[in-house]
């Protein structure tokens, strides 16, 4: 069973150290987005990366629409990977929707994590009176329709919006290629789950010390969302980054690593 899970989620363990860092990737991505980040930690930490079922080189035959119709299925992936590796007291670093997957895991198993680091998190992506999630329902519907009609065109449109940094077009090109490597059907369902989940009422249940890394401009997550999460998670720390774009671990590796290391040293 243990080996099945490690193979299912394409789990990779590198590095040396008493403490374990577990990195969770965001929607449309896989563990390779962490390649330039984890090399900065492998000398002092045991590092775990993995692919959620349906992403990257995970076992796609293990994907079921029922299990992954909510973030609970992805949370289960994370908990099962940690159980297979017999982890406790780990440090979880989650990007985007992985921040919320980590949040759910930390609430279910409070002793699993010693610290949690969220990069560009959002508990809810839709606008409501008094809450700026960044998207209207019509925006989400359009996005999902575009994914269904012409997935490659959707990826071509979304990549530069997500990455920003127009002066470095290679970033958007690489991200577009990563998006295009996904199974369109699975990606669309993951997008639907990501953009329609509402975890706002879970934030105050978090007891794990939490760092929120908020890029100073992010077309996916409005800057005030970082402050909103910080206010709701007791004892959390918010760092406004100089980085722009939703993927600072790809566009601004050095700043991302510096922010993480500073927090781990506290």
Q: What is the structure's pLDDT at 3?
A: 76
Parse the chain into domains and list their residue ranges.
2-265
Instruction: Tell me the CATH architecture of domain 2-265.
Output: 3-Layer(aba) Sandwich (3.40)
Catalytic residue positions, numbered: 96, 218, 246
180, containing H or E segment: helix 169-180
| Tens digits of residue pLDDT in 184-201 | 999 999 999 999 999 999
Q: Would you say residue 92 has pLDDT above 80? A: yes
Q: What is the mean predicted confidence (pLDDT) over 228-250?
A: 98
pTM, two decimal places: 0.97
């Amino acid at each position: 069973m243990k080996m099945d899970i490690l193979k299912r989620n394409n789990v990779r363990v590198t590095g040396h150290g008493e403490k374990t860092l577990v990195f969770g990737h965001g929607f449309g991505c896989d563990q390779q987005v962490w390649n330039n980040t984890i090399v900065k930690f492998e000398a002092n930490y045991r590092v775990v990366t993995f692919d959620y079922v349906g992403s990257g080189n995970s076992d796609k035959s293990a994907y079921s629409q029922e299990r992954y119709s909510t973030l609970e299925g992805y949370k289960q992936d994370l908990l099962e990977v940690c159980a297979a590796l017999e982890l406790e007291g780990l440090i979880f670093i989650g990007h985007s929707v992985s921040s919320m997957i980590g949040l759910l895991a930390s609430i279910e198993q409070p002793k699993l994590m010693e610290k949690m680091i969220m990069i560009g998190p959002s508990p809810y992506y839709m606008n409501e009176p008094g809450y700026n999630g960044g998207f209207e329902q019509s925006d989400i519907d359009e996005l999902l329709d575009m994914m269904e009609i012409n997935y490659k065109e959707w990826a071509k449109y979304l990549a530069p919006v997500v990455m920003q940094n127009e002066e470095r077009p290679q970033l958007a090109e690489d991200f577009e290629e990563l998006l295009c490597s996904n199974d369109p059907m699975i990606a669309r369902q993951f997008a639907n789950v990501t953009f329609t989940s509402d975890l706002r009422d879970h934030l105050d249940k978090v007891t794990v010390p939490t760092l929120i890394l908020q890029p100073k401009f992010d077309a996916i997550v409005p800057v005030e969302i970082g402050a909103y999460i910080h206010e709701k998670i007791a004892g959390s720390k918010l760092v406004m980054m100089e980085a722009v774009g939703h993927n600072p671990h790809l566009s601004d590796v050095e700043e991302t690593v510096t922010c993480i290391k500073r927090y781990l040293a506290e």
